[in-house]
Amino acid sequence: MRILIDLDNVLVDFQSGIDACSDDIKADRAARKRRGLTEDWDEVEGIFALMQPMPGAIEAYQELTKRHDVFIVSTAPWENPSAWSDKLIWVKTHLDKFADKRLILTHHKYLIAGDILIDDRRKRGAGAFKGYHIHFGTDACPDWETALQLVYDVM
């Protein structure tokens, strides 16, 4: 089976990147929010390099690679060029040989062929994905233990 896995809030704890930002960046984002603007955390340069793995994500990813063709499919913010390289560096740092040349960055996930997509959202083409979508971070799939069980149930 070909399994596609999203990065943000699936393999990567996005909030950990926010928490690791400098006080100046946090103050700037708070000021934007007070002015009625979006906080746009994903557009903060370097934020993706600060993020930590979701609990159980690394072990689950490695487990899936033992029996399946696994790719990481993620969207990088168009207005944040560092996000593209930071996501690659994150994958190399945390998944190393298990994800060598297995990162696909796209704004159109439905174009990537696969049997299962594990994603926390239905945006960026995830909602139009032709295979089975495991909606990570929901009541039906709150964590990686459940995600693995759902993958095995689909098989």
Catalytic residues: 6, 8
Query: Backbone phi, then psi, for 37, in 5-degree steps?
Result: -95, 160
CA atoms of 118 and 144, how far apart (whole Å): 10
Q: Are 136 and 6 in contact (CB under 8 A)?
A: yes
Nearest to 118 by CA among 106, 104, 136, 105: 136
Residue 129's identity, in one-letter code, is F
